[in-house]
Amino acid sequence: MTAATMQQQALAEAADMVSSVPTGLFIDGAWRAAADGQQFSVHDPATGDVVARLANATPSDAMDALDAADRAFPSWSRTPPRERAELLRRTFDLVMRDRERIARIITLEMGKPLRESHAEVSYGAEFLRWFGEEAVRISGRFGSSPEGTGDMIVSRHALGPALLITPWNFPLAMATRKIAPALAAGCTVVIKPAALTPLTTLYLVKLLEEAGLPAGVVNVIPTTNSGGATGPIIADSRLRKISFTGSTQVGRVLLEKASANILRSSMELGGNAPFLVFDDADLSRAVEGALVAKFRNIGQACTAANRFIVHASVAQEFSRRVAEKVAQFKLGSGFDPDVAIGPLIDEAAVAGVDELVQDALSRGATLVTGGKRRGGAGTFFEPTVLTDVARDSRLLREEIFGPVLPIVTFDTDDEAIAIANDTEYGLVGYAFTASIERGQRLINELQTGMMGWNVGVLSNAAAPFGGVKMSGLGREGGAEGIDEYLTTKYTLLPSVFRP
Ligand code: NAD
């Protein structure tokens, strides 16, 4: 079968998959239309075609969702942890059962190559399994006061109804990374997926329902009116938690709103990851790491390497080897099995990347490969490598969110670390060096929440994911992830052994 026929077949299958996705809002255990009957369209970014029409939640629908989450909270938070765990585990099994279907839905609405969608399904499902396992390990402490007169109990409790807002770039994983720890902790949720990619979340919720989700525990409100629909929920004192993944700009707006009710807030925001290659690095490994750290998800990841900071003595060789590979990347529909680079999410994304590349070129950067958008249907930008990038170029300051790999050089370790830290962001850094001492120094001195040492991808459900500086607050995944949905209570009682 040719690549074109396989692509056609995959697209036909994907359209069939969409018919299995619910098109309504999910509130209080029932699928329903929006209060005003309005709908919005979801597009395939590779073709621009409309692939679905969905209910568009209004502010009153959003308040119904909060009402339902609030009503369900007392009983869900008292549901035995083992039962909460088993719901998550059953959902994990259902996601694995339907992994082909979910991968196709992701590629259809978001554009990433199908094999990357499969990887997202594995990664995203893992949060359901991991937090199912964590649900039965929520523990407190017991101890004597130092004076010996009192017994001190430290217990942990579910916070209450939570609002979860997710971005479009990892439609499954960003949803499970929030829903799973919230439910494990005993919180109920209202989730608002990105309007560009709501289908995956709707399908996930259908699986939660199949797994036995009680009414009101998870409510979903896709909407194009994100500020209008979520504003009244955030202003309502029954909401006790907001967890947001998205841009720093929107995160700041939400934090301001959250401050009115002193809402517990988790913010997974933008990144501007440095990718350091030292003169002692294994270059083959560094090139391999660079390609995945940059081009995974078409460069549209908060963890995407944004600035390649390479020792002057290896920069030429590194650039040559990277560019050679990048020039061979095929651009096209994610359903074509030979494609490495799918479409960007929309027209605004293409225009933004184009602007950053033009800015770098106007400041003297050398274009090694790529450099322009592709004409015709869909929103494509060529995979691009730029060298000699001037330090004041916008693409070194801003999140590129596209398939563009800019290279700058350094001479000393101090200089490399200074360049790496010269950003308001601090999500992740990558470092390629054979030296243990240098690696240890970087762990201490890189101002980031995460570091990949001789690796280009590090996300794992068992690890705490999150950033410092303007990359956010809190951690998702790992033992830390469930803490975001729990509060700590201290109780003192007279000691039975009172002296
Ligand atoms: P975005 O900030 O535009 O939107 C994120 C979500 O917020 C969407 O659901 C959107 O509809 C919603 N939203 C937008 N304005 C809102 C408002 N006023 N009130 C309530 N909700 C609102 O981000 P995006 O373009 O969807 O995603 C890309 C960004 O997300 C990048 O900056 C990327 O780095 C970041 N991101 C971060 C992580 C992380 O874990 N740190 C992971 C993935 C993406």
Using 50, 70 and 90 to split pLDDT, how confident is the model at 86?
very high
Are residues 287 and 148 part of one domain? Answer: no
CA geometry: angle 134, 259, 155, nearest 5 deg: 35
Tell me, using a 6 A CB cutoff, whether residue 333 lines ligand 1. Answer: no
Nearest 5°: phi and psi at 193?
A: -75, 165
Going by pLDDT thresholds of 50, 70 and 90, the confidence category of residue 114 is very high
* 297-311 confidence digits (pLDDT tens): 999 999 999 999 999
Cα(246) to centroid of ligand 1, in Å?
A: 2
In a domain, 183, yes or no: yes
Are 477 and 363 within one domain? no
Render pLDDT for 15-32 as a digit per residue (tens, 0 to 9). 778 899 999 999 999 999
Q: Confidence band (pLDDT; 50, 70, 90) for 5?
A: confident
What is the per-residue pLDDT for 16?
79
Distance (Å, rounded) from C-alpha 497 to C-alpha 499?
Answer: 6
493 within a domain of the structure (yes/no): no
**Domain identity same for 279 and 265:** no
CB atoms inside a 10 Å sphere around CB 9: 12
Q: Quote the pLDDT of residue 1.
A: 63
- pLDDT tens digits, one per residue of 175-223: 999 999 999 999 999 999 999 999 999 999 999 999 999 999 999 999 9
pLDDT band at 12; cut points 50, 70, 90: confident
**CATH assignment at residue 404:** 3.40.309.10
Share of the chain above pLDDT 90, in %: 95
Same domain, 237 and 329: no
Looking at residue 4, its pLDDT comes to 67
- Please say if the pLDDT value at position 14 is more than 70: no
The answer to whether residue 287 is domain-embedded is yes
Q: Is 268 a catalytic residue?
A: yes
User: By C-alpha distance, which of 431, 355, 454, 433 is closest to 397?
Assistant: 355
pLDDT band at 13 (very low <50, low <70, confident <90, very high): confident
Tokens of 445: 């001195």
The three-class DSSP label of residue 41 is strand
pLDDT tens for 283-293 read: 999 999 999 99
Whether 304 maps to a domain, the answer reads yes
pTM of the model: 0.97
Ligand 1, atom 10, residue with closest C-alpha: 194
Q: Are residues 198 and 312 in the same domain?
A: no
Please report the DSSP string for 122-138 in residue order.
HHHHHHHHHHHHHHTT-
Q: Determine, yes or no, domain membership for 178.
A: yes
Q: Is the pLDDT of residue 499 over 60?
A: no
Establish if 372 belongs to a structural domain: yes
Per residue in 421-447, pLDDT tens? 999 999 999 999 999 999 999 999 999
470 CB near ligand 1 (under 6 Å): no
Residues 435 and 331 in one domain: yes
Claim to verify: residue 146 and residue 226 sit in the same structural domain:
yes
- Enclosing domain of residue 308: 273-460
Mean pLDDT over all residues of the chain?
96
User: Out of 209, 268, 399, 484, which one is annotated catalytic?
Assistant: 268
User: At residue 351, does pLDDT exceed 60?
Assistant: yes
Q: Residues of 243-270 as b/e, b for ≥16 C-beta within 10 angstroms? A: bbbbebebbeebbebbeeeebbbbbbbb
Token output for 399: 């999140």
- Are both 396 and 439 inside the same structural domain? yes
Verify that 181 and 319 share a domain, yes or no: no
Which mutation among 245, 254, 459 tests ligand 1's pocket best, with the greatest number of atoms within 8 A of CB?
A: 245
**Does residue 481 belong to any structural domain of this protein?**
yes
Q: What is the pLDDT of residues 341-350, one digit of tens each?
A: 999 999 999 9
Q: What is the pLDDT of residue 7?
A: 64
How close is the Cα of 283 to the center of ligand 1, in Å?
34
Give the span between the Cα atoms of 16 and 11, in whole angstroms: 9
Same domain? For 250 and 281 the reply is no
Q: Domain of 62: which CATH number?
A: 3.40.605.10
What is the model's pLDDT at position 230?
A: 98
Nearest CA to ligand 1 atom 17: 227
- Cβ–Cβ under 8 Å, residues 334 and 8: no
The arithmetic mean of pLDDT across residues 42-68, rounded, is 97
More confident residue, 8 or 58: 58
Per-residue confidence at 497, pLDDT binned at 50, 70, 90? low
Mean pLDDT of the 172-176 span: 98
- Tell me, what's the pLDDT at 17? 80
Ligand 1 contact via 269 beta carbon (within 6 Å)? yes
Q: Is 166 in the pocket of ligand 1 (CB under 6 A)?
A: yes
Tell me the mean pLDDT in the region 271-282.
Answer: 98
| 310 lies in some domain | yes
Is pLDDT at 485 greater than 70 in this prediction? yes
If asked whether residues 302 and 333 sit together in one domain, one would say yes
Higher pLDDT residue, 86 or 149? 86
For the chain, what is the domain count?
2
What percent of the chain shows pLDDT beyond 70?
Answer: 97
Which has more confidence, 4 or 179?
Answer: 179
pLDDT tens digits for range 359-405: 999 999 999 999 999 989 999 999 999 999 999 999 999 999 999 99
> Is 233 touching ligand 1 by the criterion CB < 6 Å?
no
Read off the pLDDT of residues 315-332 as tens digits, 9 standing for 90 and up: 999 999 999 999 999 999
Mark whether 372 and 438 lie in a shared domain: yes
- Give the residue ranges of DSSP H helices in 111-238: 114-135, 173-185, 199-210, 226-235
d(CA 184, CA 195) in angstroms, rounded, equals 26
